[in-house]
């Protein structure tokens, strides 16, 4: 129970379905004074109190479990290390993979529980090869992308009571009818351990800021920066190049090179990516029957899926979209689908540009 409206209604529905339910809130920070800033952040002291009030309302036991050490090691430290390596990680994916559906589930099973139940918008379908993870019925709220890291074993011990709910407004109305104080609570956003939203400032403190060069695709120096961590692939503003490009077109960040501390920029068309691949891949349920298969690939939580062909070769998942993807950074997660079904995912280790650099 995160303290939000979705997990509150999910818990209430689980109780009404006849399950023996215990509410658990995850304490992910040991900073006792941590408070929510508007709709920023989550898993704060305020959220824990909101979750407890809901648990009392529906009459279930409630506990706060301290996973702050695991969260620091598996999510925060990973986030910092990835940025040091010039990659753009997704900490929410890592939290689902390492904390919510691994550490939490492991402890729950040790204590004799059958499953964890969350307020995520996704559905589980019994298929020929076992349980399958599918998109929710409400496309705009669908959260199957961030659940793409779940394994077949984890799916067998998971419940999503909100998956078939047509809209978030229905969930809020149900919460109000049940008398939950969180019925109108805003959704959290941004990175939970950076509640003020200043990711650049956070990284400057944790990674360190060192001046370096901004270069074009041929290696020519065209400007300077005060810290490569402040840039992301696809960024246009804040480059401070100082002079127009020869073709008069704006320049975008194409690559971060941590070893040389360079930021590579180029024209917008150079953001097009013809191929992505990753060695850290997993299947959400039964693995595809063939090593090469047609699919759709999604590279951001709210991006449109793109038809593609995927192949597993030398223990690497290689994905070739039918049309180039725009502005893909290493460290992002690529989730592959077959229709509404989530097949699996990989952390992107390598991208191949659709527009080779001029010799």
Among the listed residues 95, 117, 295, 346, the single catalytic one is 95
26 near 43, Cβ under 8 Å? yes
Neighbours of 30 (CB within 10 A): 11
Active site residue 95: yes
* SS3 category, 198: coil
The values of phi and psi at residue 141, to 5°, are -100, -5
Angle between helices 168-177 and 5-16 (to 10 degrees): 70
**Residue bearing tokens 């008398």:** 179
Q: Cα 75 from chain centroid?
A: 11
Neighbours of 64 (CB within 10 A): 16
Among the listed residues 42, 92, 117, 192, the single catalytic one is 192
* SS3 category, 87: coil
Distance CA 284, CA 133 (A): 7
Active site residue 92: no
Q: What share of the chain is helix, strand, coil (3-state, %, to 5)?
A: 30, 30, 45
DSSP E strands: which ranges in the chain?
23-27, 62-66, 116-117, 122-127, 130-135, 158-159, 212-215, 221-225, 252-257, 262-266, 272-278, 280-283, 292-298, 306-313, 316-321, 325-326, 333-338, 341-347, 350-353
**Which of the residues are catalytic?**
95, 192
């Amino acid at each position: 129970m995160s303290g939000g409206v979705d997990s509150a209604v999910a818990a209430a529905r689980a109780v009404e379905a006849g399950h023996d339910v215990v509410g658990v809130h995850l304490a992910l920070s040991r900073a006792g004074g941590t408070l929510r800033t508007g709709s920023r952040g989550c898993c704060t002291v305020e959220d824990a109190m909101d979750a407890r009030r809901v648990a009392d309302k529906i009459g279930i036991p409630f506990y706060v479990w301290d996973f702050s050490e695991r969260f620091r090691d598996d999510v925060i430290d990973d986030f910092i290390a990835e940025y040091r390596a010039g990659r753009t990680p997704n900490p929410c994916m890592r939290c689902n993979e390492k904390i919510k559906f691994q550490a939490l589930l492991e402890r729950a099973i040790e204590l004799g529980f059958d499953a964890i139940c969350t307020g995520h918008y996704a559905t589980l379908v019994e298929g020929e090869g076992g349980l399958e993870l599918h998109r929710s019925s409400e496309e705009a709220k669908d959260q199957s992308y961030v659940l793409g890291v779940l394994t077949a074993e984890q799916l067998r011990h998971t419940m999503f009571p909100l998956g078939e709910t047509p809209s978030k407004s229905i969930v809020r109305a149900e919460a109000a009818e049940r008398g939950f104080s969180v019925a109108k609570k805003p959704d959290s956003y941004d990175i939970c351990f950076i509640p003020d939203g200043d990711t650049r400032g956070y990284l400057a403190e944790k990674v360190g800021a060192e001046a370096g060069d901004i270069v074009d695709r041929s290696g020519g120096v065209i400007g300077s920066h005060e810290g490569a961590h402040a840039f992301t692939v696809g960024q246009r503003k804040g480059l401070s190049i100082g002079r127009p490009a020869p073709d008069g077109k704006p320049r975008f960040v194409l690559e971060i090179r941590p070893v040389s501390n360079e930021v590579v920029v180029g024209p917008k068309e150079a953001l097009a990516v013809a191929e992505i691949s990753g060695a850290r891949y997993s299947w959400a349920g039964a693995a595809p029957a063939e090593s090469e298969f047609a699919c759709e690939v999604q590279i951001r939580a709210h991006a449109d899926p793109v038809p593609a062909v995927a192949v597993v070769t030398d223990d690497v998942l290689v994905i070739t979209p039918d049309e180039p993807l725009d502005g893909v950074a290493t460290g992002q997660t690529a989730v592959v689908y077959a229709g509404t079904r989530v097949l699996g995912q990989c952390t992107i280790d390598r991208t191949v540009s659709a527009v080779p650099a001029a010799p």
